[in-house]
A = this chain, B = another copy of it.
């Protein structure tokens, strides 16, 4: 029933984000529902306040990393934090913090803490 609702037109408001030059297609409900107090949710609920810019195809311009945004968008879609091997967790954390997605940022901080031994202070993973 949930899956049916997600794809059957209950949200008619599709939009495309241009994150640093890569296009992501999603729905407004994905951006505003999971973490309604995030900056990202505010940006797409209160468009006029935020003055979001659009490119010539109508995609909303955001000057951030597309690579590290990808797992964040997946998290907003289904609530799971899912990351491939080799991706730098600090990159995802940086984007989670930028977009104000607090619960995800906290979850990432726990994962990062557990994945490094305490004596390792290297700036990159």
Q: Which residues of A are interface residues toward B (Cβ below 8 A)?
A: 3-4, 6-9, 12, 14, 16, 18, 20-27, 30, 39, 43, 49-53, 55, 61-65, 67-68, 70, 73-74, 77-78, 80-88, 90-91, 94, 98-100, 107, 111, 114, 122-125
Contacts and interface: CB of A to CB of B under 8 A. Distances in A.
B91 A82 contact: yes
Q: Which 7 A-B pairs have the closest CB atoms?
A: A85-B86, A9-B51, A21-B25, A82-B91, A21-B24, A21-B23, A65-B74
Contacts of A24: 20-21
B125 A85 contact: yes
Contacts of A88: 82-85
